[in-house]
Amino acid sequence: MDGKNRLKFKDLYFATEGFKEKGLLGSGGFGSVYKGVMPKTKKEVAVKRVSNKSQQELKEFVSEIVSIGRMSHRNLVPLVGYCLRKDELLLVYDYMPNGSLDKYLHSSPEVTLDWNQRIKVIRGVASALFFLHEDWEQVVIHRDVKASNVLLDVEHNGRLGDFGLARLCGHEVACGRRPLEVQNCENGGERVFLVDWVLGLWNEGDILDAKDPNLGTEIDEREVEMVLKLGLLCSHSDPYTRPTMRQVLHYLRGDAVLPDFLPLDLRGSGRMMLGIHHGLSELSMFTGGSSNVDSILSGGR
């Protein structure tokens, strides 16, 4: 990203009609996002406006510009440019007409995604993460992978956006649930973690009970089961057990078979589990050696 991608504030102000409320696409702890149309090119964009932040926080956002401004991948949201104005930073992305994955998972069944669409999104995001971890010139750890940061383009391809903000979080799209839910609100509320809930259902005899009821019957049950178990494996407390994104991509594309393991294995030594089924040599084969493994793990996987 260089000077030619630096945009004028007045153009962004005009594009968003003065950042009016009607153009607000969403907001969170790191700023608000507005839909806009660039005045000269008529290109539809999404403008993330970050203000009221410290200089240090703004520097962290500038790192997003440096990181993704030079990257190009079909499953990353393209960054069009940026504007740095006093204590405010504006990031301009391609507009994704179908919004975020979060909308489809947590709203009414009328706007849900079927299984074929979901597995397409999962594979797309996995492909993007593999590119960031292993296939680009630098290792980029996203640190904020969640449904609201996965945008869907006009063909419902999953595209990963919002880089370098918080931490890496595992979300299982097959369940259609949030990673943390509060249940029994009338009795004060009980926090239920998605990973524990899925693991509990598997312990009870059928992990497929965790699938999203909005999926209907047109699903590949073996594929859903594989994705659920893969989600649990990616959430393992032992970082050495979690598969690399190269492995994840192989599993999702059907190029490799997910190793057999039991719920009890997830509570024990992950290194032992992998050693029983495939040996650590497979891990080295997928990652290019132990030094690669260590470098990726140190960034949060």
Structure-token pair, residue 225: 């089961």
The contacts of residue 68 (CB under 8 Å, 6+ apart) are 76, 79, 140, 163
Annotated binding-site residues for ATP read 48
Q: How far is it, in rounded angstroms, from Cα 237 to Cα 230?
A: 14
Contact 116, 162 (CB under 8 A): no
Q: Is 144 a catalytic residue?
A: yes
- Which residues are part of a known binding site? 48
Q: Is there a contact between 79 and 90 (Cβ–Cβ < 8 Å)?
A: no
Catalytic entry in 94, 144, 162, 212? 144
Catalytic residues: 144
